Amino acid sequence: MSKNNDELFKNVISHAKEYGFVFPSSEIYDGLSAVYDYGQLGSELKNNLKMYWWKSMVQMHENIVGIDSAIFMHPKVWKASGHVDGFADPMIDNKDSKKRYRADNLIEDKIARYLKDGKTEKSESLQKDLDAALASDDLPALRALIEEHQIVCPVSGTRNWTDVRQFNLMFSTQMGAMAEGADEVYLRPETAQGIFVNFLNVQKSGRMRIPFGIAQIGKAFRNEVIARQFIMRMREFEQMEMQFFVKPGTEMEWYAYWKEARLKWHLAVGTLPEKYRYHDHVKLAHYANAAVDIEFEFPFGFKEVEGIHSRTDFDLSQHEKFSGKKLQYFDTVENKNYIPYVIETSIGLDRMFLLTMCNAYEEQDLSTAEKPDSRTVLHLHPTLAPVKAAVLPLVKKDGLPEKAREIMDNLKLDFNMQYDEKDSIGKRYRRQDAIGTPFCITIDHQTLEDNTVTIRHRDSMEQERVPVKELDKIIGNLVSWKNLLK
């Protein structure tokens, strides 16, 4: 990360804390590694991101429905899905610093360093070796690459490494009152399996016809070997996943459809297209026949925010095998039974939140020849902004607060609003800019005479005078979901 980007990222993190977006979990006890809490504005923004996803996936598609399955599931689910035996990262410990790393991350960092130093050939050949070792789950080969490229521990600076071992990422706990005989259950590491096991329940009760999708938003838990970059890699996080069930043989058409549709969803909020890119998977998971990541350029580089995977009939077939229950669909057009193929779209809500904050954050220099000036502004899309408008009486007297309250009481029925009468109007504008409020409504003496107010627009800082009775409609249009969904 360059110094500027490093600083920018640090500023985003401290801004998120200072204004009540994200706090470290249990902070008074010095926090819990890779666990975070969303504050008063963060939870509003997070809810809006969820709503944006839910509306666009469920409400805008007549053939997609949403569910909310439990976090705990029968332990056999995770045997069937392959998570008990295969959901692991290759880890390595440095014996001097006692720090644990993901072996593949250490090698990726080395590849990035080679690239930065202009050693393109070396970086490409190491990338090829890494891909080959990962594709064959060859742990000694990973260890050999670390040795050969003289990769040192970033903390101790030594090469005193252990062997590379697999580390399962699932958290487990006991279900049942008695320690003895209690069943070991897992905290789900993904929400997808809750959809697969309910495939027939939803299909039958909803009379769904293929192609159709089931969507879900919910918590997932992974005991990540190393957690870093704030809410980028957490041990407790939220996913928004949709499984789309299709006729075998049509999966590549649907894969192409969702690949394009999901990128469109990201771009609709106004993010510059060059901040995004697709990354096709070289190493496919055992269940997939195609997979792509949608990556965003964070201050620390391009990283995955969402995955689109063609999962074949792997999951439903596995659940058939392990449960002994038929999970087939009767296709009335073809007049036959089959296990549908699945296209999955899977996005991390917290990563989307981080992306949104990084993309919106700007430190603006507003200095003129006469005086220095600056502001920090979050350019959030108005529909996603935690607070839609602030109501600000120009002064705290002459009946202006009473009039402002009357306006506020009406608007808060439809919109999340803030009322603020403390400090100068300029300071109040700056506070709203910093939390991304798109509109400030100012009540002044003229309001009492002609029932008009000014609306100040966050990004342009321009003001316009409008009748109070039009406010509902004006704000409603500016923050409407239509602006994102159509």
Instruction: Give the residues lining the site for ligand ATP (CB under 6 A).
Output: 190, 222, 224, 233-234, 237, 239, 304-307, 346-348, 350-351
What six digits make up the tokens of 357? 């904050």
**Residue 105 or 323 having the CB closest to ligand ATP:** 105
Least distance between ligand ATP and beta carbon 128 (Å): 19
Least distance between ligand ATP and beta carbon 347 (Å): 6
Measured CA to CA, the distance from residue 225 to residue 152 in angstroms comes to 18
Measured CA to CA, the distance from residue 430 to residue 408 in angstroms comes to 20
344 three-class SS: strand
**Residue 67 or 169 having the CB closest to ligand ATP:** 169
Least distance between ligand ATP and beta carbon 349 (Å): 8
The β-bridge relationship of strands 417-419 and 389-393 is parallel
Q: For residue 38, what are the contacts with CB-CB under 8 A and spacing of at least 6?
A: 21, 22, 23, 46
- Which of 165, 184, 164, 161 has the alpha carbon at shortest distance from 174? 184
Least distance between ligand ATP and beta carbon 307 (Å): 4
Helices (H), 100-235: 103-116, 120-135, 139-148, 192-196, 199-205
Phi, psi of 31 (to 5 degrees): 80, 170
Measured CA to CA, the distance from residue 486 to residue 471 in angstroms comes to 23
- Which of 232, 267, 261, 307 has the alpha carbon at shortest distance from 16? 232
**Residue 44 or 306 having the CB closest to ligand ATP:** 306
Least distance between ligand ATP and beta carbon 354 (Å): 9
Determine the residue with CB nearest ligand ATP.
348
Q: Is residue 350 a contact partner of residue 237, using CB atoms and an 8 Å limit? A: yes
Measured CA to CA, the distance from residue 132 to residue 143 in angstroms comes to 13
- In the block, tokens 């279900």 appear at 175
Q: For residue 207, what are the contacts with CB-CB under 8 A and spacing of at least 6?
A: none
**Residue 48 or 346 having the CB closest to ligand ATP:** 346
What six digits make up the tokens of 1? 């990360």
- Which of 87, 314, 313, 350 has the alpha carbon at shortest distance from 218? 350
What six digits make up the tokens of 245? 């069930």
**Residue 44 or 238 having the CB closest to ligand ATP:** 238
Least distance between ligand ATP and beta carbon 239 (Å): 5
**Residue 344 or 444 having the CB closest to ligand ATP:** 344
**Residue 307 or 382 having the CB closest to ligand ATP:** 307
Least distance between ligand ATP and beta carbon 350 (Å): 5
The Cα angle at residue 246 between residues 243 and 251, in degrees rounded to 5: 95
**Residue 196 or 329 having the CB closest to ligand ATP:** 196
Q: For residue 225, what are the contacts with CB-CB under 8 A and spacing of at least 6?
A: 89, 91, 100, 101, 102, 167, 169
Least distance between ligand ATP and beta carbon 199 (Å): 20
**Residue 203 or 239 having the CB closest to ligand ATP:** 239
Least distance between ligand ATP and beta carbon 77 (Å): 16
Least distance between ligand ATP and beta carbon 344 (Å): 9
What six digits make up the tokens of 46? 């997070």
**Residue 233 or 456 having the CB closest to ligand ATP:** 233
